Amino acid sequence: MDSFEINKIVAAVLMVALLIIGIGKLSNIIFHVEKPTTPGYSVDIVETTKVSSSTKTNEVEKIDIAALMAMGDVAIGEKVFKKCAACHSINKGGKNNIGPALYNVVGRKVGIVEDYKYSKALASYNKEWTLEELNGYLVKPAKWIKGTKMAFAGLRKEKDRASVIKYLNQNSDNPLTLTLP
């Protein structure tokens, strides 16, 4: 191989390199792409509330509280309440504990037990403990009333919730008559 041939090879390689660079530059000029100011897609996030743990959808749905309550059983509720008893009394005249006394709680206004220091979230909630509210709160307290200081994960099973709500209802001066279907 003489030097002339080497020169040719070097020249060819240089040409190719130049071509590649040139094409890149050229295509940048030809295919000029405007960069979007906000990268990616914007996804609209829809806030959803899950009220029934049994369904897999994320839509807000109206729960059939009568059907849910029909799953309840006071005797089971009494057992389930053992989880609550660490923090709550249930008997008439029972004292506030870590949580407020729960006698008469069904139908009572939220956060009104005397001498109990509620979180701001509960004190200003301004609703009543209807069956629906109790059910929602007991699924996941911190989610239902943001800022509540009830440190309880929640009752995932519908039957447990229905049962414990029935048990709460029974421990009252005026229990609701829960009509059975």
User: In the bound complex, what is the minimum distance in angstroms from residue 165's beta carbon to ligand HEC?
Assistant: 8
Return d(Cα 52, Cα 65) in angstroms, integer: 10
Binding test (CB under 6 A) with ligand HEC, winner from 89, 104, 135, 148: 148
User: In the bound complex, what is the minimum distance in angstroms from residue 143's beta carbon to ligand HEC?
Assistant: 13
User: In the bound complex, what is the minimum distance in angstroms from residue 47's beta carbon to ligand HEC?
Assistant: 22
- Does residue 118 touch ligand HEC according to CB under 6 A? yes
Return d(Cα 120, Cα 157) in angstroms, integer: 28
Neighbours of 102 (CB within 10 A): 25
User: In the bound complex, what is the minimum distance in angstroms from residue 168's beta carbon to ligand HEC?
Assistant: 6
Residue 139 identity (one-letter amino acid):
V
CA 130 to chain CA mean position, Å:
21
Neighbours of 103 (CB within 10 A): 19
Range in contact with ligand HEC (rule: CB under 6 A) among 6-14, 29-37, 49-57, 110-118 = 110-118
- Does residue 159 touch ligand HEC according to CB under 6 A? no
Burial 138-175 (b: 16+ CB within 10 A, else e): bbbbbebbeebebebebbeebebbbbbbbbbbebbeee
Q: Within 64-103, which residues bind ligand HEC (CB under 6 A)?
A: 83-84, 86-88, 98-100, 102
Return d(Cα 166, Cα 3) in angstroms, integer: 100
How many residues in the shown chain lie near ligand HEC by CB under 6 A? Answer: 26
Q: Which residues bind ligand HEC (CB under 6 A)?
A: 83-84, 86-88, 98-100, 102, 105, 110-111, 113, 118-119, 121-122, 129, 138, 148-152, 155, 164
